[in-house]
A = this chain, B = another copy of it.
Amino acid sequence: MGKILRIDLTTQKVSESPLPEEYVKKYVGGRGIAARILYDIMKPGTDPFSPENKMVWGTGPLTGLPVQAASSGWVVVTRSPLTYTYFRNRCVSNFGIMLKKAGYDFMIIEGKAEKPTYIYINDGNVEFGDASSLWGTTTDLAQHILKEHIIRNPKAETAVIGPAGERLVRYAIVQSGTRQLGRGGIGAVMGSKNLKGVIVYGEKSIPIANEELLKELVKEQVKQLATSHGAKRMQRYGTAAIHALINQIGDYPHKNFRETFFPDHEKLDGEQRVKRTIRNAGCPNCLIMCWKYTYVKEGPYAGAWVDGPEYETFWSFGGLLGISNLDAVIYANQLADLYGIDTISAGNCIAFAMELFEKGIITKKDTDGLELTWGNENALITLVKKIAFREGIGDILAEGVKRAAEKIGKGAEYYAMHIKGLEMPGYDPRPVKAHGLAMVTSNIGGSHALGYGTQEVFGLPTPVDKYTIEGKGKLTVYNQNRLTWGECCIWCTFPTRSEWHKPDLLTKIVNAATGIDFGGWEEALKIGERVWNVERAFNVREGFDRRHDTLPERFLKEPIPSGPAKGQIFELEPLLNEYYQARGWDVATGLPTRAKLEELGLKDIADELEKMGRLAK
C-alpha cells in the first residue's frame, strides 16, 4: 500500500499516513481515491478560495509502469472557483511518476501560506520555500528557475501557476512541463493559497505485483493498438484528428455556439497541423505519441510554438471565434500556457464578448477600444493577455462567462455558454444526445471528458444513432462509469473511451500490476459508478440537484440554424428522466437514493445526506 502526504500551508505542518486498504479496494486509486478523500475532509459550504479549501493530488496504480496509455497520469481534485462543484482534473506530465518515486501516491494540500511559497518534495522530505521572487512569473520561467537554480536538479518535475493563477483568474491552469491541469481553475485555487508551485524529486522504485504477466498483457495492448484506425489517426494528427469529423456531423460550435459548422474548417484540420509539427512526443512508453509540438516557421507569428494545440484549442481559439489561421491559434495557445489560463474557458469568454459586441450589448467603450469582430486574431491575442493579467475588459472576462454575464447584465446571460459555470467544450449538445447529456450531468460542469459519447461521435465501439433520445440515459451512465473507472486507474482517456483496447484487457492489466483482484469489466463499471456517486454526493451536499443539471437556453430553444445538423434541439427533460432512472436516483430531484448508495457500499454517505435532508425521499 502507498502513502498519503498531507501538507498544511498555514501551519507548515506535514504528515504522512498509509493509504487505507479499504480505499484501494473500493476506489482503486487516482480520481476514485482522491474524490473519496476530498469528500471526507471537506466541510460543506467551503469557499473555493478560502484556506479551508483542499486539493487532493493523486496518482494511479499504473502511473510510472511500463504500460501503454497509462504511464504518466495524475489527477487533482478540489472545489472549483468556477463551478463551486467538486472538480477533478487530469494531467499527463511526469509529475505524477515523480511524486510516486518520492514515496507518495496521494498528496493533500490545504491552508494558505503567509507569503508566496513553493513546496519541494525530495524523496520523502518536504520543504517550504519562499517564492516571492517568482510571484508574477510566467510558467516557463517559474519552472526553469525552480529546477535549474533553486533546487538545481533538472530531473525534478514541477507543477506551477502563472500570473493568471496568482490573480485568481477563475479558469487559471496549473502548468507541468509542457502539459496542463487545464479546466476548472485549479491554478486559481493554488493562487488563493499563495502556492506558486510544487517541485518533486525521488528515486524510489515503483513496484509491480506480477511483472511477467504484465509484460504479456502489454504485448496484447500493443497488438490491439496496431489494429486501431483511431490510434493510427491520433499518431498522425494528435487530438486534431477529429476536427474535420466534428464539422462533418455538424457538431462544431461556431460563433459562440450559434452555429455548428465552420465553413473554413479545412484551414484548421489535421493536415495543417502536420505541416507545423516538429516533434511527436507522449507519455513514457506510449506508442501513440499524441503530443504534437507545433512551430510557426514564417509569417507574422513566426517563432511561436506550443506542445499542442489540442483539438479543443483548435476549436476554442479557432472556429468558435471564426478564426481559421492556425498560426494565430498556436501563438495564442503559447501565451495561454505561459500566462496560465485554460484555452477552452478563455475561448468561450472571448466568443461571448464577440457575440455581445455584435449585439451591441458591449461596445468599444467597454472593450478598451478593441473591435471584437468574428475572426479578429488580434482581439484573441490581446484578450488572452488582458484576461490573464486582469487588465480592462479582461478583468471581467477572468471571472468566466457566468459571472461576467451577471456583471454586464442587459441580457448578456443568454450568450454565456456554460454548464454549472464551466464554459462548454467543442461539441454542441444538440446533435449528440448522449454526449450532450453527459455534459449536462457531469460532476464538474460543462466538460466532455467525463462521459464522452463515443458511440455517437465516432461509432465506437459500436455505432448508435446520434439523434435518438431513447436509451441515451442508460448509455450516458455507461459512458460515465466507464471513464470514471478509467480515471481511477488513470488510463489515457482516448483508448479507454473508444475501446481501442478491449475492456477486459484493461482490467487484467490493473489486476496484474497491483496484485489485487478487482474483478472484470462489470466490477470495473461498478467502481466507476461508486466514484460517480461519491462525486455527485459531494455536489448534492453543496446544494446541487436536478435544477442545476441544465443547459443555456440557446440549446433548448434555438434549433440549429444550418449545416449537417440543421433543426436539432436538445431534449433536456426526457433525457434527464431516463438518466436519473438509469442512475437509480430520484427522477424528480436528481438526488441519490439510499438504496443505490448502500448497494455501492456508501451507507455512510447516505446517512450524511439524509441528515442534511439531501437524500432522495
Query: Which A residues have a C-beta under 8 Å from some C-beta of B?
Result: 133-134, 136-138, 140-141, 144-145, 148-149, 154-155, 163, 177-178, 277-279, 281, 293, 295, 297-298, 302-303, 305, 335, 338-339, 385, 389
Q: Which of B136, B279, B281, B293 contacts A295 (CB under 8 A)?
A: B136
How far apart are A211's CB and chain B's nearest CB, in angstroms? 23
Residues in chain B near residue A297, CB distance under 8 A = 136, 163
Measured CB to CB, the closest approach of chain B to A579, in angstroms, equals: 43
A293 contact set on B, CB distance < 8 A: 141, 145, 149
Quote the shortest CB–CB distance from A561 to chain B (angstroms). 39
Kindly list chain B residues whose C-beta atoms are within 8 Å of the C-beta of A140: 140
* Cβ 8 A contact of A302, one of B281, B302, B305, B385: B385
Supposing A136-B297, A297-B136 touch, asked if A149 and B303 sit within 8 A by C-beta, the answer is no
Which residue of chain B lies nearest to A306 when distances are taken between CB atoms in the complex? Answer: B141
Is the Cβ of A137 less than 8 Å from the Cβ of B278? yes
**What DSSP secondary structure best describes chain A's contact surface?**
mixed
List, in ascending order, chain B residues with CB within 8 A of A303's CB: 138, 163, 335, 338-339, 385, 389
Contact of A278 (CB < 8 Å), options: B134, B177, B278, B295: B134
A295 contacts across to B, CB distance below 8 A: 136-138, 141
Residues of B contacting A138 in the complex (Cβ-Cβ under 8 angstroms):
295, 303, 305
- Return chain B residues, CB-CB under 8 Å to A141: 278, 293, 295, 305
Q: A154-B155, A295-B136, A297-B136 known; A145 and B279 CB under 8 Å?
A: yes
Which of chain B's residues have a CB closer than 8 A to the CB of A148? 177, 281
18 CB-based A-B contacts, threshold 8 Å: A133-B278, A136-B295, A136-B297, A137-B278, A137-B295, A137-B305, A138-B305, A141-B293, A141-B295, A145-B278, A145-B293, A148-B281, A154-B154, A155-B155, A163-B297, A298-B389, A303-B338, A303-B385
Q: How far is the CA of A391 from the CA of B514 in the complex (A)?
A: 58
Q: How far is the CA of A162 from the CA of B30 in the complex (A)?
A: 41
Contacts of A133 in B (CB 8 A): 277-279
A513 to chain B, nearest CB (A): 23
* Most B C-beta atoms less than 10 A away, residue of A149, A155, A277, A298: A149
